[in-house]
DNA sequence: AAATAAATTTAGACAAGACTAAAAATATTG
DNA sequence: CAATATTTTTAGTCTTGTCTAAATTTATTT
């Protein structure tokens, strides 16, 4: 089917399209892929040749229907494997991303379907991100950033924006995990820091933290 | 660590060394890898450079200690994943090899260890082959080929030599599976075919079959 | 022990995917 | 709007792993 590299580009474009609806720029893609702009141009041409993306020179790139479908299948596999690692193999949520980056490229529709079934058709991965079903459908939750809450408002923690080990371990250390309720006690206008309460404990967090935690309000 | 291709060559050499103790020839390796002899020579040089094999021009190749250790880890992963697919995801034993060929290259020691634990440290894969433990140790069972049995002798089916889908489906169709007892009722000297009895049913099998079924005698 | 056959290696080429440096196109600014 | 800055593309190179064709070495026959 498609190479690992092609799949990784498609996935990156898929994620960046949320932010750049008008088309994903070569530089944005180069940064996401941790490669050089010239390499991106080369690959975009190949993807365009294969009708996985729509590309006009200097105008950025968009996924075609086929490209989008392919990207979603890769994301589906990534998130199913992350769920598997956490729920079945006792991995912590900060340890699974790199392994899922490898597993997401395993080619077998039956494997993906059977894994999904084995896991009980989970709807969200360990970081709160939606897992597309076999048809590629998934629901985008109406979540918001904790930073958007005002004093005395509260919400349930439902996901992370940054899913780096560093951030996830910080959350672990402070006993913040998905499903818990967070209430804003104070909000400092000057630096955006907050005093929150989570499970009866008070905690002061910087804006960098509240900007990377998704919550859902009732 | 090592590339997929390098790992595949090491695994192929590992398997061929059983048959060619004096050194695996370039042609034998080319056939096993389904590639050309010149490509094999190229790769052998690279592996030799990395001290994974011992190579003298025109003299065939052998695994170094490091090469052997690496090959065994790949085999361990291959067989653990095959076991996982059959035992947890309800795959049939004839469907797992190609997927395991992909999964065996996933790089994460922790994943392999945790998978092993999750599976209950299985000793044999679905085809009866031994699964090396984390240290690379595994027991070679004292099995023999069904073809070696004489009239009126019996044994327990413990493995397959050929693990192609075609052969495995043939066994399924004839209700032959690992763990079952087979008794030889007749043995035809002319063509090596046998009349066997397995679970009260009589069955005539060609020598090609009996030459690819491992059994253990009491 | 030549002569021939078979196995193996070398030489040169190619595709994928990356890189650097330079050129070209687009955006921004005075 | 011309000058400058930024972005993007092109040109040329490199590495990995493969291939074909030719050369070389080893094995087998007469
Ligand atoms: Mn991830
Ligand atoms: Mn995730
Ligand atoms: Mn197998
Ligand atoms: Mn097997």
What CATH class is the domain A143-217? Answer: mainly beta
3-state helix, strand, coil in chain B (%, to 5): 40, 20, 40
What is A4-63's CATH topology?
Answer: Arc Repressor Mutant, subunit A (1.10.10)
Residue A86 has pLDDT above 90, yes or no: yes
CB pairs under 8 A between A and B: 41
Residue A57: CB atoms within 10 Å: 8
pLDDT at B29 over 90: yes
Strand D and A3 CB separated by under 7 Å: no
Query: What tokens does B19 get?
Result: 């048959």
CA distances from B100 to B36, B67, B76, B137, B169 (A): 24, 20, 11, 20, 18
Chain B residues in contact with A98 (beta carbon < 8 A):
108
Distance, in Å, from the CA atom of A34 to the CA atom of A29, rounded to the nearest integer, reads 8
| Predicted confidence (pLDDT) per residue in B121-131, tens digit | 999 999 999 99
- Chain A residue closest to B117 (CA)? A89
Segment A110-134 shows an average pLDDT of: 98
Instruction: List strand residue ranges (DSSP E) for B29-98, in order.
Output: 53-55, 61-63
Work out if B5's Cβ lies within 7 angstroms of strand D.
yes
pLDDT reading at A218 higher than 90: no
- A110 and B88 within 8 Å at the Cβ level: the answer is no
Residue B23, Cβ density class (10 Å: 0-12 exposed, 13-18 middle, ≥19 buried): middle
pLDDT, mean over chain A: 97
- The spacing between the Cα labelled CA in B58 and the C1' in C7, in angstroms, equals 8
How far apart are alpha carbons B149 and B7 in whole angstroms? 37
Domain ranges of chain B: 4-63, 143-217
Proximity of residue B177 CB to strand C below 7 A: no
Query: Residue B12 pLDDT > 90, yes or no?
Result: yes
- In 3D space, the residue among B62, B37, B47 whose CA is nearest the CA of residue B5 turns out to be B47
CA of B98 vs chain A CAs: smallest distance (Å): 9
For residue B71, give how far its alpha carbon lies from the nearest alpha carbon of chain A (Å).
Answer: 20
Angle subtended by helix axes B26-33 and B37-49, to nearest 10: 100
Cβ neighbours of A91 in B, within 8 Å? 110, 114
Q: Residue B46: in which H helix or E strand, if any? A: helix B37-49
For residue range A72-82, what is the model confidence (pLDDT) as tens digits? 999 999 999 99
* Pick from A208, A202, A198, A204: nearest CA to A147: A208
- The residues pairing with A201 across neighbouring beta strands, listed in sequence order, are A198
Q: Report the C-alpha gap between A157 and A182 in whole angstroms.
A: 7
Note the strand D nucleotides within 7 A of protein beta carbons: 7-12, 16-22, 25-26
Give the integer Cα–Cα distance in Å for A98 and B32: 32
Alpha-carbon torsion A65, A70, A71, A72, what sign?
A: positive
Cα(A100) to ligand 1 centroid in Å equals: 6
Of the candidates B9, B148, B153, which has an alpha carbon nearest to the alpha carbon of residue B68? B9
Q: What are A17's two structure tokens? A: 């399209």
């Amino acid at each position: 089917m498609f190479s690992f590299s092609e799949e990784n580009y498609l996935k990156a474009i898929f994620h960046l399209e949320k932010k750049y609806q008008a088309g994903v720029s070569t530089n944005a893609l180069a940064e996401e892929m941790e490669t050089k702009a010239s390499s991106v141009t080369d690959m975009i041409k190949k993807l365009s040749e294969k009708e996985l993306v729509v590309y006009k020179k200097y105008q950025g790139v968009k996924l075609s229907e086929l490209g989008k479908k392919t990207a979603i299948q890769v994301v589906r596999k990534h998130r199913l494997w992350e769920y598997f690692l956490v729920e079945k193999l006792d991995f912590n949520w900060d340890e699974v991303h790199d392994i899922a980056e490898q597993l997401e490229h395993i080619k077998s529709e039956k494997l993906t379907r059977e894994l999904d079934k084995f896991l009980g058709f989970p709807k969200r991965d360990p970081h709160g991100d939606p897992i597309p079903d076999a048809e590629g459908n998934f629901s985008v939750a109406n979540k918001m950033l904790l930073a958007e809450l005002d004093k005395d408002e509260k919400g349930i923690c439902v996901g992370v924006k940054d899913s780096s080990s560093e951030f996830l371990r910080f959350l672990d250390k402070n006993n913040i995990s998905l499903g818990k309720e967070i209430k804003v006690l104070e909000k400092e206008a000057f630096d955006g820091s907050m005093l929150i309460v989570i499970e009866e404990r008070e905690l002061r967090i910087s804006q960098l933290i509240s900007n990377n935690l998704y919550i859902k309000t009732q």
